[in-house]
Amino acid sequence: MKWYRLIFSQAQPIHIGSFIWGVVNETAAFIPGWTMWGALTNTYLRFNKFKDIEKSKEFFTKITNFYPAKACSKNEDKNQILSSLKCLFPKYEKGEFGFVEVPISEFDEDNNNFVSLDEFRFEFVDVIVSTAVEPVNRKAKDESLHEFEFILPKSKIDNCSLYWIGLIGFEDKEEYNEDLLKRYFSTLFVGGDIKYGYGKLELFDVQEIKKEEDLNSWNIKQDGRANIALESPLKQYVKFSGQECFEGEIKLIAEFDFSKNISEVSRASYYINIGSKIVSNMQSKNGDYNYLGNYFLYKGMLKP
């Protein structure tokens, strides 16, 4: 397979649906692979007037989660920005979920700065509070108060710009190449409320990945199979079989079928969360220590 690193600059606030707590509509701090797959597939189908919908759904499934990256270069030169980019990869530190700042050309995550999720949200997340008003008496309408979170394009602290980095893989077919990515995805809309001015990303750079270790740092091999190193924070969700010994959290992830008027859950499974660590050799019920090697990347998840 051919693999490309996609780097998007954030042109508008974005909202990535995460949880709804009462009146608070919370945003996630990264873009899950299935959300980015949905944005790419939707854009591709619009260009092609929604031809071959079922076939098109399979084009972009070999995609990782996308993580935020800061660039604090005051110079607008592209190479200067790329050299200053620091990707925020997920990690747990002392039981707390957050990110570790890693230059995109570096694979060692141990000696870099840890940014807790609260620190990231303080720097990049803002909120809109709104309510409906009764036209007669000008009072707030019952049960209409809600808060809507979004991720800002720039830091509130130092005005650094936010970018998004992830990988996509294509089978070795001539038409699936860098030109296709630039032609279709120069502008992309991702997440919720895009009709209200949210979610615009602009393709900043496309880089073909030729080094195996660069893929390995994203938990994948050249053919898309899982490559999970012990004690290394996960970049992708890993389907939980009950045999793994890990540090971190378990998440219940539902996959939806959006082809119907009202979306339905097509399947739901437990996954080891991103940022968690596999801490010992894994053995399946059949005694196989390498069974995770038969897991494949699928929309930010590694599963059989």
Q: Does residue 116 share a domain with residue 81?
A: yes
> What are the pLDDT digits (tens) for 23-80?
678 899 999 999 999 999 999 999 888 888 878 888 899 999 999 999 987 777 888 8
Tokens of 276: 């968690």
Q: Does residue 184 share a domain with residue 134?
A: yes
Q: How many CA atoms lie within 13 A of 235 on its CB side?
A: 30
Query: In the predicted model, is pLDDT for residue 248 greater than 70?
Result: yes
What pLDDT score does 197 carry? 84
What pLDDT score does 40 carry? 94
3-state secondary structure of 292: helix
Cα(6)–Cα(31) distance, integer angstroms: 13
Q: Does residue 75 share a domain with residue 13?
A: yes
What pLDDT score does 168 carry? 95
Per the structure, the complete domain to which residue 285 belongs is given by 219-303
Using pLDDT thresholds of 50, 70 and 90, give the confidence band for residue 174.
low
- Reference 278, options 241, 243, 239, 247; nearest CA is 247
Beta strands in 11-140 (DSSP E): 17-21, 24-27, 67-71, 86-93, 96-103, 114-116, 125-130
Q: How many CA atoms lie within 13 A of 291 on its CB side?
A: 18
CA torsion sign, 235 to 238 to 243 to 248?
A: positive
Residues 6 or more apart in contact with residue 194 via CB below 8 angstroms: 200
Cα(109)–Cα(121) distance, integer angstroms: 21
> What are the pLDDT digits (tens) for 86-96?
999 999 999 99
Q: What percent of the chain has pLDDT over 90?
A: 51
Q: Does residue 236 share a domain with residue 120?
A: no
User: Of 183, 218, 253, which marks where a domain is finished?
Assistant: 218
**For residues 8-28, average pLDDT:** 83
Tokens 């800002």 label which residue?
Answer: 152
Using pLDDT thresholds of 50, 70 and 90, give the confidence band for residue 274.
very high
Q: Does residue 125 share a domain with residue 144?
A: yes
Q: Does residue 195 share a domain with residue 271?
A: no
Residue 40 carries which side chain, given as an amino acid letter?
A: L
User: Of 218, 241, 265, which marks where a domain is finished?
Assistant: 218
What pLDDT score does 22 carry? 66
**pLDDT top residue among 260 and 277:** 277
Q: Does residue 72 share a domain with residue 128?
A: yes
What pLDDT score does 267 carry? 84
Cα(12)–Cα(156) distance, integer angstroms: 14
Q: Does residue 180 share a domain with residue 105?
A: yes
Domain count, the chain: 2
Q: Does residue 55 share a domain with residue 155?
A: yes
CA dihedral 235, 249, 108, 162 (to 10 degrees): 60
**pLDDT top residue among 81 and 282:** 81
Q: Does residue 70 share a domain with residue 24?
A: yes
Cα(27)–Cα(30) distance, integer angstroms: 9
Q: Does residue 210 share a domain with residue 224?
A: no
User: Of 173, 188, 218, which marks where a domain is finished?
Assistant: 218
Q: Does residue 127 share a domain with residue 205?
A: yes
